[in-house]
Structure 1
Amino acid sequence: MAGVVGVVRDDKGQFLLAFGADYVHWDISQVELMAIYYLKNIMKDWMLEYQGVMIKGDNYNIIKALQNMLKKWKNKEIRDDRLAFLNNFNQVLFSFCRRNCNKLADICANLGVFNSFIWLDLLDDEIPPSFLYCLKEECDALGLL
């Protein structure tokens, strides 16, 4: 079992939403890809107002493969149906981030194993204190609060 998760922020680092879902896997690389594909399921109309999207992942091989595919797609539409939703953005970036530098996603991954969730509001009483505390630490470090 694994958690397919994501934490969505704006260009200033402000929290927009977080999601998680359980997923049975045999390959951790597949889990990383499923998290990216899952974004399509949680897309909201207001997200399209943003000019670009940066997708961070902690699987170096998958992120590198996606970066290489993106170079091939340059000036062309993304043809992979599972990633075609990215065509709605003017800019798409794939970035590698070590797991210990992305604690919010790690918390969500652990929670996503047991229950699916989408948090759109920080006042949601289902958000665990550990997530809120970690978010506050990151926002404080970025000077957002």
Structure 2
Amino acid sequence: MLPRCFAMPAWEQWCTFQPFGLSSSTHSSTPPPPPPPGWVKFNIDASVRPNSVAGLGVVARDHDGKRLIAAGSLVEQWDVTRAEILAAIAIRGAVEDWMFNIDGIIIKGDFRNAIMWLQGAFNRLNKLHLRTEGPDLSFLPDFRQVLFSNVPRQCNQLADFCANYACFGNFMWKACDDRNVPPSFLSLLRGDSDQA
């Protein structure tokens, strides 16, 4: 057992058990670094509308910053925290078989309460991820390692775009040259790549 530093706020403790090479900084004016080689990063977000329609957005990228998949799904939900948790669970639809053989995944979101809930629920000592009722997290233990990270909103713009776009219907883009990808998303993607 490693001692827990109580001087550090709980939202910074996600990095306590992370592998060497991952940044422990959660507050920065520069974009966070890409995941290390052999890892895939999933940025997640949810957009809840007043009519109880929520869009869930997921963007998956590798260590080169290359977008692997962008997806969105439309659900009926009025609770923001639950919608953000559902966005994390929506990565199941964006996962490809080869991803289970990589070193690990990082799930990043800009809603602190949802990230903290997911982190606690996924704790292998806390059997909450094996519950039959509530959100189904049973697919996460199939990965070698899973980390959760709270990021500033400005570092989550692609997932936010996908969440808002999903309010109009489900989609999945696996390639940037897909003619269905909106030019505004490609513009955000270029800007995000220039900063990284």
- State the TM-score, normalized to the length of structure 1: 0.87
Distance 1:104 1:73 in 2: 30
Q: Secondary structure of 2:74's partner?
A: strand
Distance 2:171 2:87 in 1: 13
Q: Secondary structure of 1:73's partner?
A: coil
Partner of 1:14: 66
Partner of 2:76: 24
Range 25-34 or range 95-104, more displaced? 95-104
**How far off is 1:89 after superposition?**
1.3
Identity %: 40
Partner of 1:51: 103
Distance 1:47 1:136 in 2: 24
Distance 1:96 1:80 in 2: 24
Greater percentage in helix: 1
Which structure 2 segments of 5+ residues have no match?
1-52
Distance 1:92 1:80, change over 3 A: farther
**C-alpha deviations, 1:41-88, integer Å up to 9, x for none?**
332112223221111112111111222333x415x8x52461121112
Partner of 1:140: 194
Distance 1:80 1:36, change over 3 A: farther
Distance 1:30 1:48, change over 3 A: same
Higher relative contact order (CA 8 A, sep 6+): 1
Letter of the structure 2 residue corresponding to residue 98 of structure 1: P
**C-alpha deviations, 1:16-36, integer Å up to 9, x for none?**
001001122110011111111
Match 1:108 to one of 147, 162, 165: 162
Distance 1:129 1:23 in 2: 25
Distance 1:92 1:114 in 2: 30
Which structure 1 segments of 5+ residues have no match?
none
Distance 1:110 1:5 in 2: 8
Question: Is the Cα–Cα contact under 8 Å of residues 57 and 161 in structure 2 kept in the other structure?
Answer: no
- Mark the structure with the bigger radius of gyration: 2
Range 60-69 or range 103-112, more displaced? 60-69
Aligned alpha-carbon RMSD (Å): 2.1
- State the TM-score, normalized to the length of structure 2: 0.66
**How far off is 1:37 after superposition?**
1.4
Range 107-116 or range 94-103, more displaced? 94-103
Question: Is the Cα–Cα contact under 8 Å of residues 69 and 94 in structure 2 kept in the other structure?
Answer: no
Range 78-87 or range 47-56, more displaced? 78-87
Partner of 2:124: 73
